[in-house]
Amino acid sequence: MADKPRLLVIERDSPEAAEVRTRLAESFELVLARTMARAMVLLREQKFAGVYVDSAQLSAVHWAGVLIQADEILDAIADGVAVVDPNLVVIWTNPEFLLLVDPSVETVGSPFMRALGSPEVLGPFACPFTAAVAIHGPASTVIRIEANRYLRVTATPVFDRSGLLTHHIALTRDITDETLQQQKITAIHKAGDELADLTPEELAEMGVEERTDLLKYNIGRHMKDLLGLDYIEIRLLDRTNGRLVPLLTEGMTRTAASRELYANPQGNGVTGYVAATGQSYLCPDTTLDPHYLEGAAGARSSLTVPLIYHGTVIGTLNVENSQANAFDDRDRQFLEIYARNVASALNTLELLQAEKLSTATASVEAISRELALPIDDILNDATTVLDRYAGHDEDIVARLRHLLFRAREIRTLIQKVGSTLAPEPRRNGPPPQHRLAGSAILVADADETVRKAAHQMLGRLGATVETARDAQEAIALARQTPYSAAVVDIRLPDQDGYETYCRLREVQPGLPIILMTGFGYDPSHSIVKSRQEGLRTVLYKPFRADRLQEAIEGILSPPPEPTT
């Protein structure tokens, strides 16, 4: 009697299935597969006369058909693709995946990680398949295989209608280039942090020349060891005359090292162009570039980046190579990162007096900005108490006036201390005068944002600013303190703009007043009525700094003489 034909049976274990299986066994040699993943392995490894599928497996059969029909598409995918069964055994791969595996291991039928040569798992997941099942979605992790190659493995679980895991789809992408690039960027950042790694005590003991030598030594070492560069030039910008002063010239000719260069895009080489524009410059072939001036003898390519600190160009960093096209955009990125660290180290080592002053000024402005409204609150509370005090105790009155004096003195002391943090920069002429220097401006607005903005905008112009939250505070301040001008919102919590305008003029006759309104909204017609009483200027919110400045300067100027 001839052997029975072999039949692959894909089914769940159930009483109905057992009855069908008994009938089929009369005519066929049965081979059972409980999952579609196992069936796919058997179909690839063995020959069958046919396949019987239980109705519960129809959805999986549909997936298998789609997978088989899509073989050509999967084979063409640039990333490695593998189908892995619930036991993490590989049951199918595309050709790209085979390029990643250990050639000594039979891929199909082997555990997934074993097929890749038991790589080192870098994370974040120790097993992306387990993580994917736990979250019912894709999970990725990074592994390192032989020859220092890095792969990102993304596992996606596939479940049947009953929620049973049938297989995984594993997408494997080679990320070696981007990983090595990120490692190099990390190394550059670490090297940059070491440029000025000194304790405050060590920094205080070192002179300017010692600090400069330390910086030059570290930069030279990093350029050679980390970036593989031998020809380096760093110049610092003297802002008083635009001259680019050499700080470090490694491998440059004597002529190049002593060459006078200025921050000018014309006639000053690539270095002058970069200092003037603040843009990096890649020169692939020095023999063809109109800007290039010889630096290193026989150099055929160069890369120059600006040294930028707090958004301002403070110098340039130039590297050169004897080969044409030696630098690319990735090198530019590396050098720009390192240049930022160099600029920061220059400031840390206190080699940039102008930047020290800039930093000190920014710090003082930040402190003043944060303390502005709390000081205003003290002034308002003290003024309100003094304004309403009906007693005859001269000591209390004196103490309140002293409190007002000391609160205002705090602002002056902050500016005074700030001016001692760094020496004034050298100037060819007298220091510039602020537009509103010597003026005292009262701003009344319930919106804290507006009050803060007024302090910031007008304070930079030299004005002394005090703010009030409502009309009563503004009137109390005006009764105790003379102001150059007042800026008042027409919708204060306790009075409208017209009432506040009139009361302020009663307290300080002739006080120039600006009324503010949001988008022209004036339900009580305060602006119209105030114009009849002499109002000259209206400011519409939200306002710009230049518009506020123009409005203040306008009301501080005498009104034009009437024409006859």
Task: Give the per-residue SS3 of 99-140.
Answer: CCCCCCCCCCCCEHHHHCCCCEEEECCCCHHHHHHHHCCCEE
Residue percentage of the chain with pLDDT more than 90: 25
284 has a pLDDT exceeding 90: yes
Q: Please say whether the beta carbons of 43 and 20 come within 8 A.
A: no
Q: How many residues appear in the chain?
A: 564
**C-alpha dihedral sign at 17, 22, 28, 31:** positive
Q: Other C-beta atoms within 10 Å of 346: how many? A: 24
Cite the beta strand spans of 203-267 per DSSP E.
Answer: 231-238, 243-250
pLDDT(70) > 50? no
Of 32-36, 233-237, 388-392, 436-440, least confident by mean pLDDT is: 388-392
Instruction: Please tell me which residue, 67 or 321, carries the higher pLDDT value.
Output: 321
Residue 243, strand partner residues? 238, 262
pLDDT digits (tens, 9 = 90+) for 84-101: 999 999 988 888 888 888
Least confident of 3-7, 357-361, 458-462: 357-361
Is residue 455 very low, low, confident or very high in pLDDT (cuts 50, 70, 90)? confident
Higher pLDDT, 24 or 350: 24
pLDDT of residue 535: 87
Cα separation, 68 vs 59, in Å, equals 14
d(CA 101, CA 110): 11
pLDDT tens profile 166-183: 989 999 988 888 887 777
- What are the residues facing 170 on neighbouring strands? 82, 155
21-51 residue pLDDT tens? 888 888 888 888 776 667 766 776 788 888 7
Name residue 390's amino acid: A
Sign, CA dihedral 531-535-541-546, equals positive
Asked whether 496 and 472 are in contact (CB, 8 A), the reply is: no
Amino acid at 357: L
- Look at residue 360 and tell me whether its pLDDT is greater than 50: yes
Residue 544 — very low, low, confident or very high, per pLDDT cuts 50/70/90? confident
Q: Which residues of 292-302 are buried (b: 16+ CB within 10 A; e: fewer)?
A: bbbbbeebbbb
Selected residue with higher pLDDT from 80 and 11: 80
Spell out the domains of the chain, with CATH numbers in brackets: 6-66 (3.40.50), 71-174 (3.30.450.20), 185-351 (3.30.450.40), 367-425+435-556 (3.40.50.2300)
Q: Which pLDDT value is given to residue 281?
A: 94
β-pairing, 6-10 with 29-33?
parallel
For residue 20, the model assigns a pLDDT of 80
Stretch 462-489: mean pLDDT, rounded? 91
Mean pLDDT computed over 10-29 = 78
Instruction: Select from 298, 290, 291, 215 the least CA-distant residue to 252.
Output: 298
Which range has the worst mean pLDDT, 292-306, 324-338, 492-506?
324-338
Rounded percentage of the chain residues whose pLDDT exceeds 70:
80
The amino acid that residue 159 corresponds to is: F
469: amino acid identity, one letter: R
**496: DSSP letter:** B
Check residue 262 and report its DSSP letter. B
| pTM value > 0.75 | no
For residue 270, pLDDT over 60 is answered with yes
Instruction: Please give the average per-residue pLDDT across 510-525, as a whole number.
Output: 81
pLDDT at 562: 55
Weakest-pLDDT range from 64-73, 97-106, 231-240: 64-73
Q: Which residue has the higher pLDDT, 380 or 423?
A: 380
495, 517 contact by CB (below 8 A) = no
Given a cut of 80, whether residue 351 has pLDDT beyond it is: no
Two tokens, residue 337:
């990162």
Residue 536 has pLDDT above 80, yes or no: yes
**CA pair distance 143, 127, nearest whole angstrom:** 10
Among 353-367, 383-397, 438-452, name the most confident range: 438-452
Looking at every residue in the chain, the average pLDDT score rounds to 80
**Band (5; pLDDT cuts 50, 70, 90):** confident
Higher pLDDT, 312 or 203: 312
Residue 312 has pLDDT above 80, yes or no: yes
Rounded CA separation 339/308 (Å): 8
- At residue 318, the pLDDT reads 92
**More confident: 306 or 333:** 306
Indicate the pLDDT class of residue 387, thresholds 50, 70 and 90: confident
- The yes-or-no verdict on residue 421 having pLDDT over 60 is no
Q: Is the pLDDT of residue 374 over 80?
A: yes
Q: Does residue 558 or residue 459 have the better pLDDT?
A: 459
Contact 375, 403 (CB under 8 A): no
Cα of 416 vs its chain's centroid, Å: 34
281-283/120-123 β-pairing = unpaired
Residue 415 DSSP label: H
Binning pLDDT at 50, 70 and 90, where does residue 383 land? confident
352: pLDDT strictly greater than 70? no
Per-residue model confidence (pLDDT) at position 425: 45
Residue 306's contacts (CB-CB under 8 Å, 6 or more residues apart) are 274, 275, 278, 279, 280, 313, 315, 316, 317, 339
pLDDT for the residue numbered 1:
45
Assign 423 a pLDDT band (cuts: 50, 70, 90). very low
Specify the range with the lowest mean pLDDT, choosing from 133-147, 199-213, 372-386, 390-404.
Answer: 199-213
Higher per-residue confidence, 347 vs 428: 347
